[in-house]
């Protein structure tokens, strides 16, 4: 396999860390991004990767991160951007940027990062891989005029909307850039035994923190192997650009809103407005 330059967010723990260790064995150039300096440094040491830290609840961190990554890859570009960072949170406490945290960490931050990295992504004719969730189908509704869910907030609704946004973002990336050689895909990695939901007060936190997880959840290594499968796959052969997968299976059990092109475009324009870039 030809080594790739891979940018992997959410790499300090969970499926991101597992995938990084798997990908390192194939000799890829890994650029890892995590929130925790200690955890990210440890994974980088295990894998021989370059690494940066960024807190996706701070958009200035994302802007600085994009500059550092672009400088690191230079003219060689990026072959794969894996937008894997995310989480579910328990309340409506706004970020320093004024947005609901679930929306920002799961959608606005990766939306901004991807757009800021478009020059090196174009140079590498990159694949953009977005970690979504079955929650997009179970809980996602999205009101463009109330992305923060100020009118009807619940942690599950906020997470479902953010994961639906990931899929709509994937669709838009395909529509806008596939003709230039970029590809995009969204996937549900399975319900994984990680620290996910540890900051929330939802039923998910109960499942993740009790013996039930042994029965209901898969290992980080298995979830990470699915992420690695997308990263190392050949776009439009291994997987189809612009689509959503349940683990490695192209599925039609989706939220019907993902096929709403007008909604996808409205979300793109609103997201660009919120993060301060041109649509």
199: nearest Cα among 6, 3, 13, 7: 13
Q: Is 245 helix (H, G, I), strand (E, B) or coil?
A: strand
240: nearest Cα among 162, 178, 148: 178
Phi, psi of 165 (to 5 degrees): -60, -40
Say which residue the tokens 């709509």 belong to. 168
User: Are the CB atoms for 33 and 51 separated by under 8 Å?
Assistant: yes
Question: Is 159 among the catalytic positions?
Answer: yes
**Helix-, strand-, coil-residue percentages of the chain, each rounded to 5:** 50, 15, 35
HEC letters along 49-104: CEEEECCCCCHHHHHHHHHHHHHHHHHHCCCEEEECCCCCCCCCCECCCCCEHHHH
- Indicate which residue of 159, 208, 244, 245 is catalytic: 159
| Residues labelled catalytic | 159
């Amino acid at each position: 396999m030809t080594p790739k330059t891979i940018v992997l967010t959410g790499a300090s723990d969970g499926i991101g860390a597992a995938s990084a260790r798997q990908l390192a064995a194939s000799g890829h150039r890994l650029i890892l991004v995590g929130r925790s300096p200690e955890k990210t440094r440890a994974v980088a040491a295990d894998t021989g990767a370059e690494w940066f830290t960024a807190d996706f609840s701070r958009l200035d961190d994302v802007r600085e991160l994009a500059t550092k990554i672009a400088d690191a890859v230079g003219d060689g570009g990026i072959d794969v951007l894996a937008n894997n960072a995310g989480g579910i949170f328990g309340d409506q406490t706004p970020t320093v940027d004024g947005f609901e945290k679930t929306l920002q960490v799961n959608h606005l931050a990766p939306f901004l990062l991807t757009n800021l990295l478009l020059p090196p992504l174009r140079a590498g004719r990159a694949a953009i891989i977005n970690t979504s969730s079955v929650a997009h189908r179970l809980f996602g509704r999205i009101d463009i005029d109330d992305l923060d869910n100020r009118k009807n907030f619940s942690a599950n609704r906020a997470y479902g909307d953010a994961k639906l946004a990931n899929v709509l973002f994937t669709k838009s990336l395909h529509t806008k850039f596939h003709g230039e050689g970029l590809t995009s895909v969204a996937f549900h990695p399975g319900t994984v035994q990680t620290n996910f939901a540890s900051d929330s007060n939802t039923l998910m936190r109960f499942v993740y923190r009790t013996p039930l997880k042994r029965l209901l959840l898969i290992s980080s290594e298995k979830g990470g192997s699915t992420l690695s499968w997308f990263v190392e796959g050949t776009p439009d052969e291994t997987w189809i650009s612009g689509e959503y997968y349940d683990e490695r299976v192209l599925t039609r059990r989706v939220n019907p809103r993902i096929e709403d092109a007008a909604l996808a475009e409205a979300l793109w324009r609103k997201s660009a407005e919120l993060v301060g870039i041109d649509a």
